[in-house]
Amino acid sequence: MARKLATAKAALPFALSEAFRWLRAVLLREPERREAALSHARANATPGDPAAVLAALDDFARNQRFLMNVGNEKAPLLEQAVRKAGPAARVLELGTFVGYSAILFARNLGSEGRLVSVDVSPTSSRVAAEMAALAGLGDRIEFRTGKSTDVIDRLEEPFDVVLLDHWKGLYQQDMQRILERQLLRPGAVVIADNLGPMFGDNPYLPWMQARADFESDYVESHVEYQTIEDGVLVSRWLGT
pLDDT of residue 178: 98
Helix (H, G, I), strand (E, B) or coil at 200: coil
Is residue 23 a part of any domain in this protein?
no
Is residue 168 a part of any domain in this protein?
yes
- DSSP letter string, 3-15: HHHHHHHHHHHHH
Is residue 123 a part of any domain in this protein?
yes
CA angle 108, 114, 115 (to 5 degrees): 85
Is residue 140 a part of any domain in this protein?
yes
Is residue 102 a part of any domain in this protein?
yes
Is residue 36 a part of any domain in this protein?
no
Is residue 49 a part of any domain in this protein?
no
Q: Which domain holds residue 156?
A: 71-237
The total domain count for the chain is 1
Is residue 213 a part of any domain in this protein?
yes
CA angle 195, 218, 103 (to 5 degrees): 70
Tens-level pLDDT at each residue, the chain (240 residues): 555 555 555 555 665 666 666 666 666 677 899 999 999 999 999 999 999 999 999 999 999 999 999 999 999 999 999 999 999 999 999 999 999 999 999 999 999 999 999 999 999 999 999 999 999 999 999 999 999 999 999 999 999 999 999 999 999 999 999 999 999 999 999 999 999 998 999 999 999 999 999 999 999 999 999 889 999 999 999 987
Burial class (CB in 10 A: 0-12, 13-18, 19+), 16: exposed
pLDDT of residue 138: 94
CATH number of the structural domain spanning residue 188: 3.40.50.150
Spatial distance between the Cα atoms of 108 and 87, rounded to a whole number of angstroms:
7
pLDDT of residue 28: 65
Spatial distance between the Cα atoms of 59 and 56, rounded to a whole number of angstroms:
5
